[in-house]
A and B are shown apart, each in its own frame.
Chain A
Amino acid sequence: MNAFLRRRFFDQIVVMFGREPKKPEAIAPEAQKIHLHKRGNRDLIAEKLHARAHAVHTHKWRKRRWATLIIVNLMFTFSFWFDIQILEGALTASRFVGFHLIDLNSALQVMLAHKHIIVNLVIGTATVFVLWLLLGGRTFCSWVCPYHLLAEGAEKIHLYLVKEKLLTDQNIDRRLRSLSWIVFAALAAGTGYTVFEAISPTGILSRALIYGPGLALLWVLALLVFEVFFSRRAWCRYACPIGLTYGVVGIFSPLRIKYTLDSCFHEGDCRKVCLVPHVLDTVIKGRAVATEIPIGPDCTRCGLCVDTCPTGSLSFDVKGLSKLL
């Protein structure tokens, strides 16, 4: 296996499970050439400053994403309230014009706890698996999960407090998420109760939006307070097993963010806005092993980096499609 493939299919996956990204051992000659060209190049610095001064910051992808997230969640709500029956159920399991859709992590919990699988469960799970396989796995997190939107708000407050030097972000070991995935899977299988489903903010929020608020929202509030005052995006980054489940689906997904080494000035704006900055390790000066690199499976395809990049070095890409067009 060549170094590039190893980085794509092994290193990126290991990083998703919680290891800190390592410096590459080998770099393709074309990429090395660009790295050398950039080293101490005064013209490039001038160009960088120019690009920075003229960069137009849009929120194109964020707007699209927020609109999608809100519309999807309102479709659930309105389907029940106005009985229009387009998307019945909640995010854990639903029916889209009659077709079963079942959240992969919820399905996993139920299968492990109940140890019996019925046909509808298989159909719904398979449909959702294929859907997110095509759309990029953790795309679910940033484009559908209602907790993500609230957490983005909490993140704004957190970053303001950090900027004002009122607190610092307390980072946590990312391996915790893999541990929580294993523990909750084991709890489901061992106790026969879907323990995670009781504390899943995704499920709680989705049900609250559709069936009305309840005390369970207090748990969601506690998580948000933790994220505002203690650790940036802690639940999504360090704890949520749903993210890992969809991340695994994303390994094989053709839809991802593509990084182009040539135009990048390595300023790191993208890493500052990113929910999962370890996936953008490759944009650090001297780390890219090839001239074009697909970002790893832990990426939520939220597009914040695409919006923020002043040089367009990060873009949405569908594997194979760009070659076809």
Chain B
Amino acid sequence: MSESAPPATPKPPASRERLQQARRRWLRTILLTGGVMGAALSGFLPLVYARTKRLRPPGALDEKDFLASCIKCGQCVQVCPVQAIKLADLVDGVAVGVPYIDAREQACDFSCDAVQCILACPTGALVYKKPAFLNVRKGAKLAAAPILKAKEKDPEPTLNLSERIGVARLTRPEACLAIQGKGFKGQVRGASFTARMRYMEVNRWKPIGISEHPYDLAECDLCVRECPVKGAISIETVFAPNGSKRKSPVVHEPCVGCGVCEMICPVEPTCIVIDAREVWNT
């Protein structure tokens, strides 16, 4: 059917100029390869030098699996009613675009009731319950489904969450208002604080600004009062280091690590923090 092309003539030997051009092209190719690979691999540096552990959204897999499975689309960011979830920037290296929660600025208060970020996740980086092949770290699993104080009177008061994302820890007891027996009056963390939270007595479905909800407490118990999970933290009478008795917030096993206590603590810097990805040690 087809005509054959004229017989191929033997290739003339390449000129010096040609060879030089080819060599330069190779160098440029290596340059671009090096640039792209260098940029890509430099993404591992923040992993190696990581100083702070990021608090991941509820239901996040263990860090390594989480980074592997997150597709960096931010759908979890979009569904969060209090916009607690942020996406990491370049300084997080390979974790750029991966969601995290800065609890002090805006914690997850579960005001969506259903952990919608998990529902939104398309890749299973956030899960209600881990698939069988993934290991559950000891102490990460919650003894029982957490009961949301806000839903306590509902027929189904529990939160669909099987593992904690961290544990709260009292880091500066000496500054804690509850321990000092001091009260708190006014706006928590000032008028300019933009964080939002759900107040059941105000509106179940619409979180409001914390600055719009001033307090007047004879004895500060904000971390206990505003903790969304039942039985996660309480004010107990404990022995101080000098043997005397005093009141203090005490964290219990149901703590899921949501970070509301860290956000609501009126002392600067905060007295209570979330140890991200920490497990419950009895």
Please report A residues at the B interface, Cβ cutoff 8 Å. 2-3, 23-29, 32, 79-80, 88-95, 100, 102-103, 106-107, 110, 113-116, 118, 120-121, 124, 170-173, 176, 179-180, 183-184, 187, 191-199, 203-204, 207, 210-211, 214-216, 218-219, 222, 226, 231, 234, 238-239, 289
A110 touches B32 (CB 8 A): no
> How far is the CB of B112 from the nearest CB of chain A, in Å?
14
Asked whether, in the complex, the Cβ of A231 is within 8 Å of the Cβ of B28, the reply is yes
Stretch binding the partner chain, chosen from B60-68, B220-228, B238-246: B60-68
With A28-B1, A120-B124 as known contacts, state yes or no: A196 contacts B40, CB within 8 Å.
yes
Q: Which of B28, B44, B96, B120 contacts A204 (CB 8 A)?
A: B96
Contact, CB under 8 Å: A172 / B25: yes
A89 touches B74 (CB 8 A): yes
How many angstroms from the CA of A124 to the CA of B40 in the assembled complex? 26
Does B3 make an interface contact (CB < 8 A)? Answer: yes
Task: Tell me how many residues of B have a C-beta within 8 Å of chain A.
Answer: 51
Contact B2 A29 (CB under 8 A): yes
Tell me the complex Cα distance, A93–B67, Å.
15
Residues on A with C-beta less than 8 A from B95 are: 198
- Bound together, the chains give a CA A235 to CA B35 distance in angstroms of 11
* A-B contact sample (17 more), CB < 8 A, given A89-B78, A194-B70, A199-B39: A2-B1, A28-B2, A29-B1, A89-B74, A90-B72, A92-B71, A110-B70, A114-B68, A116-B69, A120-B122, A193-B44, A194-B72, A195-B43, A199-B43, A207-B87, A215-B91, A289-B2
Among candidates B41, B69, B74, B134, residue contacting A90 with C-beta atoms closer than 8 Å? B74
Is there contact, CB below 8 Å, between B65 and A114? yes
| Whole-angstrom distance between the Cβ of B94 and the nearest chain A Cβ | 5
Known contacts A93-B71, A94-B73, A180-B33; decide if A173 and B94 are in contact (CB<8 Å): no
Which among A116, A180, A219 is the interface contact of B133 at CB below 8 angstroms?
Answer: A116
Instruction: Please tell me if B143 contacts chain A, counting CB pairs below 8 Å.
Output: no
User: Within 8 Å CB of A171, what residues of B?
Assistant: 25, 28
Contact of B75 among A93, A184, A192 (CB under 8 A): A93
> Are the C-beta atoms of A203 and B97 separated by less than 8 Å?
yes
Asked if B52 is at the interface (CB within 8 A of a chain A CB), the reply is: no
Q: Which residues of A contact B70 (CB under 8 A)?
A: 110, 194
Residue-wise interface mask of B (224-260) relative to A, using a CB-CB cutoff of 8 A (1 in contact, 0 not): 0000000000000000000000000000000000000
Given the known interface contacts A176-B29, A176-B33, A184-B40, the answer about A193 and B94 at a Cβ–Cβ threshold of 8 Å is: yes
* B78/A214 in contact, CB under 8 A: no
Specify which of A114, A115, A172 lies most central, judged by the most chain B CB atoms within 10 Å of its CB: A114
Bound CA span A279–B254, Å? 62
With A93-B123, A183-B37 as given contacts, are A25 and B90 in contact (CB-CB < 8 Å)?
no
Pick from A194, A203, A215: contact of B94, CB below 8 A. Answer: A194
| CA A94 to CA B71, docked complex, whole Å | 10
Asked if A114 and B5 make an inter-chain contact with CB atoms under 8 angstroms apart, the answer reads no
Contact A192 B68 (CB under 8 A): yes
Please give the distance in Å from A110's CB to the nearest CB on chain B. 5
User: B180-193 CB contact bits vs A (8 Å, 1 = yes)?
Assistant: 00000000000000
A219 CB to closest chain B CB, in angstroms? Answer: 6
Q: Distance in Å from the Cβ of B177 to the closest Cβ of chain A?
A: 35
Q: Identify the closest chain A residue to B87 (Cβ).
A: A211
Q: In whole angstroms, how far apart are the Cα atoms of A210 and B89 in the complex?
A: 14
A147 to B73, CA, bound (A): 17
Q: Write out the residue numbers on chain B whose beta carbons fall within 8 Å of the beta carbon of A80.
A: 77-78
Are B68 and A121 closer than 8 Å at their CB atoms?
Answer: no
> Mind listing 21 A-B residue pairs with CB under 8 Å?
A3-B2, A25-B5, A26-B3, A27-B3, A29-B2, A90-B73, A91-B73, A92-B72, A93-B123, A103-B71, A106-B71, A110-B68, A113-B69, A116-B133, A120-B122, A121-B123, A176-B29, A176-B33, A198-B40, A207-B72, A219-B39
Closest chain B residue to A212 by CB distance?
B87
Instruction: List B contacts of A29 (CB < 8 A).
Output: 1-3
Bound complex: CA A108 to CA B34 (Å): 23
- Contact flag A89-B90 (CB < 8 Å), given A102-B122, A194-B68, A204-B97: no
Whether B36 pairs with A180 at a CB distance below 8 angstroms is yes
Provide the residues of chain A in CB contact with B78, threshold 8 Å: 79-80, 88-89
